[in-house]
Structure 1
């Protein structure tokens, strides 16, 4: 009975305390839940957008959207190992052992505070400092208890690596500087991957009291705290005695640096199109510096509202390695190489290339630079003068308008536009109507796309995708011009007249362009593996009181870029030897001179009825594609991808684009380009 009475007594005692236990459990759970719910990750999500060069240097940035701070996301592998060792030795020695909170350090700090009668030490771990940035807590014991819960939570949920990265991103370093990467750039003018012991000590100490320790305002305090960190590092074996003594004599910064914004317009352009806060490009800082210097030189000479922009591509890597968006941000903050403008005469080489490819023209063929009327349109040359008979090569290097129109008539404006737009649309036309004026610049195209076309000529007719961003997907190359026709154009443009600062640079193959009313002046070309494009523009489409031209103004800038690239060294683009009549001086008898204008006027009398230009077709059941035509006089000659054939059909050996042209005995012709699909189910 006595045992039974004791059991009943214990049971009653337990039931009596049970409500209290339940209440404490519920309160604890509510406290933990509310503490975790306080965590606000927006400072991480609202960080600065940053544009990086291929070597990790900063090309451009935006301030954080919540507080206009320099808050660059920083990972542990991006900072100096010496700094990380100093940081953990000074702030969180047991970072890799405790669950997010070092309870022994907390107890020691609490004891010190009680003894001092005020809060002198926090005992906060790296994780606790992170949650303080995520909550904005004031320094109280109750908030400290919340931070214990929150620090354990983020450490267990996200892992120590993530917690450390967040600290490196959010830690305050005075003013509106947050994070180690921004701090290193602002205080030391370099990235945080390499730091001296003194620099590492300063960045370790600054978050303790950012405004009090900042060396530009309180040098003595900065020295005191740096020495304190160095002493701790020496004590814990991070620094040996010799290095510690030498570091005590190191200078510390006394002013902040501006962070590089040489690609500010490009950064703004990409930030608007890509949601990722960090964008990594293939931009080469050395090339970017060359473009920056050209911009400075141009702006010093010209302050009339004209703006210089440029792009540089590297065929060795198929990357865009330099972009100058605007030489004068006061006039335009747009990234102008991506905007579509008139190309002037810069598209003429492609009309010649197509005529070469179709064997309708040879570089030595005689063309006619005479005044003619096309309907109600009477085009003239840039100089308003005419030279009479001239070879195709001379007409191209002199950028004569009438011969260019004559050449375009050999293939037709629509075929010319379709070829330029093969793979992706680059050239845009008013009302989508292709006429003869397109070869003189009536359409619009971006400097980026125009440079890509010149890079295609440099690569013997193969159109490659030149990547700007490091995470861009690779795109298969495709042919736009035959190898020999592209080489013929390239060689002709190597003989073009040099600007004054490029007389000795005969290895440059280039062409200029000037748009109507001198609003746009362009120069594009290639040297070794580099292709560059330069544009001088009035962004508001107004003509300046100074009339810019491609040769007088844009070409010297282009050659200045190539000269600087040559000094820093280039990788010569190896080109295979080609055996072709286009590359010999002897002109085939049939191509000695374009005699009859009826080749332009009457060409519609011979027409390819099937396939249509731009069609996508399937071979027939036997694997053949038949060409149907109407009109023509005498024998009809068929050419498929520059190979002449007797039959009006062919068997495609690959899936992709095919060009077919026909020619009759009277010189009439027609041409189409279409895509053949071999496996429609894929």
Structure 2
């Protein structure tokens, strides 16, 4: 009777023991610090991160591998893989017989499952080790499917040195995806794990070829491959250049690895373009000042996929802080924000592209901005001010729009400007008085290519396209056309549908950062150069330092196939944009012959809006720029209650522009003579500000034997404090006089600004 119970109980005990052993010694399937790889959009490995043992892998699935390789692997290593339970007793017995007869190890008899078991849990080549291997193989078959076991082999098989897996081996040895292996290549990689160190094709091509041919012959004998195909493959030599580890986009790879746990991170990068950009950066290295670096970012604005990312000039150059990714570093953006304030002001109805703006010295509390090119230019249009990157007109527009509102608009679309602790956005932000990142700036510039909607960058294919409105489609179109050199209105028949390269530069205070951002028909291009430690670099500025690099990147992008050129995105004129004419100084259209139209200009118009000339707050004095006067029948100014007085409106140029106007356009000439019979009531008008000590257009010479010219200047008239500027730079806090000691020959511009907004100026030359 007890025999019957034993027959029933023993299997149960055996099963319980197996179950318990499986729980005590589980399969070591997971790694604490697995190897990771970052790859381009086409699968090309960019950078690898080895595991704790220095091993790196390129994860693949069965579908990622060529069927030729699977045929060679299974038919050469384990023909009965899909049928046996993990261990093939016939193979083990055959191997043992061969070993005994020859007196040495001829064949191991291991199945692919057993090889995976040894890779997961290495063991000594002893009888006990073999038992352990068999146990692990049975565990694998118990817990995993055949496809899962094969996938483990594909990713864990050794291929020499620090390479594991068919993916890493194929890319490193052959420079191609394992999905596109030839018959000869498939045979080579199928046999290589048998003796990876002895058969490494980059070191021992003759040995590798003998082993490969053995596999090819086996494929013909088993009728797996056609004899003719095998014959042709046998004729191929095995010769490989020394293997190259992935060495592209290291800083981006580090950035992505810190944000995801995936073993294979597939990016949107174009491997070929990335390689060209990094070579370009290394070529530029010799041209950069000591300890300087650069950053480049290329984005396809039709999809917002990042196609190229170079964070430093050379990651291995520590003297240039090569390990610092300047794409994500916070730096002063200089003037690259100006297109945004003009676009937003267009939408607000504050300006139009030919609005009269003032490039004159101004004082905002303790803030006195100047121009990069020194000097002031007087009356300028909005489009001209943007193209020439003049500072004072941008500050004038930002003052009207509001700096806090402007910063909030940019923050809403992802351009998060940084300000010192405790400070708020102010007028200086339009000239770089805040911090910004290159990647966020480039993303915000997408609004000019995406009909006013700024989208976030996409580094991974699975990231959704996220965008928010920044400005209207019409405003974005106008700004982009101005930056592309098409500020002058054209008919739709002559206006290019494909917009040429539009670009904007920026230079931060103290020459610490040089920027250039470009928009070509398909791509956004962002360039930064400077020293990562924020040390000033004398002579470095956007136009001279960043634009040449921008043009080279643009040339790389345009050197594509003719088919791609034909398919370039077009940017037709939106219905909200029309052409029109406006008059200076009023800023609106006037009928032909109207005396208030002192200069007529053609302009793009948004929603046919013609806002009047934007006045600079506090700069117009008492009278303003639009005067209401009464004239008698002789055309003389009279009081409003004089007999037969008629009302007239006179558009005057803004008061601060007087020094740049010809005599016929100044207020004294534009206003009619006052009638002696019925004069208008006197107003508290400001006494004109006069500059004394040098006349306009003077040529000055130093005394014989003198190295310097002592020039004393003073003013007459005006009101309140005075501020002096020499070539755009402030030279005195206040005062009615100033003494200059000039030693460098050349052209000079001297200006004096009074508290009422009047400006007196003179240009002279020192010989």
TM-score, length of structure 1 as denominator length: 0.79
> Which residue, out of 564, 567, 580, partners 2:559?
567
Q: Note the C-alpha offset of 1:356.
A: 0.9
Tell me the equivalent position of 2:508: 515
Aligned in 2, Cα 1:325/1:237: closer, same or farther, shift over 3 Å?
Answer: farther
Tell me the equivalent position of 2:713: none
Distance in 1 between residues matched to 2:269 and 2:580, nearest whole Å: 39
Give 3-state SS (helix, strand or coil) of 1:513's partner: strand
Tell me the equivalent position of 1:6: none
Distance in 1 between residues matched to 2:620 and 2:68, nearest whole Å: 74
Tell me the equivalent position of 2:340: 350
Q: How many residues align?
A: 579
Q: Note the C-alpha offset of 1:556.
A: 1.3
Tell me the equivalent position of 2:441: 450
Tell me the equivalent position of 2:86: 100
Tell me the equivalent position of 1:436: 427
Q: Note the C-alpha offset of 1:248.
A: 1.8
Matches within 5 A, 1:168-247: 168-247=154-233
Q: Which has the larger radius of gyration?
A: 2
Aligned in 2, Cα 1:585/1:205: closer, same or farther, shift over 3 Å?
Answer: farther
Matches within 5 A, 1:121-132: 121-132=107-118
Q: Note the C-alpha offset of 1:44.
A: 5.3
Tell me the equivalent position of 1:656: none
Tell me the equivalent position of 1:387: 377
Structure 2 gaps of 5+ residues are 488-497, 590-609, 623-767
Tell me the equivalent position of 2:614: 594
Q: Note the C-alpha offset of 1:466.
A: 3.2
Q: Note the C-alpha offset of 1:265.
A: 0.9
Q: Which piece of structure 1 moves more, 90-99 or 116-125?
A: 116-125
Tell me the equivalent position of 1:549: 541
Q: Note the C-alpha offset of 1:580.
A: 4.4
Aligned in 2, Cα 1:142/1:407: closer, same or farther, shift over 3 Å?
Answer: same
Residues 1:532 and 2:525 aligned together = yes
Aligned in 2, Cα 1:553/1:12: closer, same or farther, shift over 3 Å?
Answer: closer
Tell me the equivalent position of 2:50: 63
Tell me the equivalent position of 2:324: 334
Residues 1:464 and 2:455 aligned together = yes
> What per-residue deviation string (whole Å, max 9, x for no partner) do you get for residues 625-655 of structure 1?
xxxxxxxxxxxxxxxxxxxxxxxxxxxxxxx
Tell me the equivalent position of 1:491: 481
Q: CA RMSD in A?
A: 2.7
> What per-residue deviation string (whole Å, max 9, x for no partner) do you get for residues 271-326 of structure 1?
11112121111112233234223212212422612112111121222322221122
Tell me the equivalent position of 2:399: 409
Residues 1:419 and 2:409 aligned together = yes
8 A contact 2:502–2:520 mirrored in 1: yes
Distance in 2 between residues matched to 1:72 and 1:517, nearest whole Å: 46
Q: Note the C-alpha offset of 1:72.
A: 2.2
Tell me the equivalent position of 1:658: none
Could you list the runs of 4 or more consecutive aligned residues of structure 1 that deviate by over 6 angstroms after TM superposition?
Answer: 12-15, 20-25, 599-602
Tell me the equivalent position of 2:550: 558
Q: Note the C-alpha offset of 1:583.
A: 5.1
Aligned in 2, Cα 1:75/1:227: closer, same or farther, shift over 3 Å?
Answer: same
Aligned in 2, Cα 1:580/1:137: closer, same or farther, shift over 3 Å?
Answer: same
Q: Note the C-alpha offset of 1:177.
A: 1.3
Distance in 2 between residues matched to 1:213 and 1:355, nearest whole Å: 69
Aligned in 2, Cα 1:281/1:198: closer, same or farther, shift over 3 Å?
Answer: same
Residues 1:367 and 2:357 aligned together = yes
Aligned in 2, Cα 1:234/1:549: closer, same or farther, shift over 3 Å?
Answer: same
- Larger relative helix fraction: 1
Give 3-state SS (helix, strand or coil) of 1:532's partner: strand
Q: Which piece of structure 1 moves more, 563-572 or 79-88?
A: 563-572
8 A contact 1:36–1:150 mirrored in 2: no
> Which residue, out of 30, 40, 46, partners 1:53?
40
Q: Note the C-alpha offset of 1:495.
A: 1.8
Q: Note the C-alpha offset of 1:24.
A: 9.3
Distance in 1 between residues matched to 2:326 and 2:61, nearest whole Å: 33
> What per-residue deviation string (whole Å, max 9, x for no partner) do you get for residues 193-229 of structure 1?
2222222222111111122222344444323211211
Distance in 2 between residues matched to 1:600 and 1:63, nearest whole Å: 68
Distance in 2 between residues matched to 1:181 and 1:80, nearest whole Å: 11
Q: Note the C-alpha offset of 1:159.
A: 0.9
Q: Note the C-alpha offset of 1:168.
A: 0.9
Aligned in 2, Cα 1:60/1:414: closer, same or farther, shift over 3 Å?
Answer: same
8 A contact 1:47–1:73 mirrored in 2: no
> What per-residue deviation string (whole Å, max 9, x for no partner) do you get for residues 457-484 of structure 1?
1222112233211121343x33110122
Higher RCO, Cα 8 Å, sep 6+: 1
Give 3-state SS (helix, strand or coil) of 1:485's partner: helix
Distance in 2 between residues matched to 1:61 and 1:384, nearest whole Å: 49
Residues 1:267 and 2:257 aligned together = no
Structure 1 gaps of 5+ residues are 1-10, 498-504, 603-682
Distance in 2 between residues matched to 1:53 and 1:341, nearest whole Å: 28
> What per-residue deviation string (whole Å, max 9, x for no partner) do you get for residues 102-154 of structure 1?
23222322333343445432211111111101111112233223322322322
> Which residue, out of 573, 592, 610, partners 1:577?
573
Distance in 1 between residues matched to 2:616 and 2:8, nearest whole Å: 106
Give 3-state SS (helix, strand or coil) of 1:338's partner: coil
> Which residue, out of 398, 413, 431, partners 2:388?
398
8 A contact 2:516–2:547 mirrored in 1: yes
Tell me the equivalent position of 2:101: 115
Give 3-state SS (helix, strand or coil) of 1:211's partner: coil
8 A contact 1:356–1:582 mirrored in 2: no
Aligned in 2, Cα 1:80/1:411: closer, same or farther, shift over 3 Å?
Answer: same
Give 3-state SS (helix, strand or coil) of 1:60's partner: strand
Tell me the equivalent position of 1:83: 69
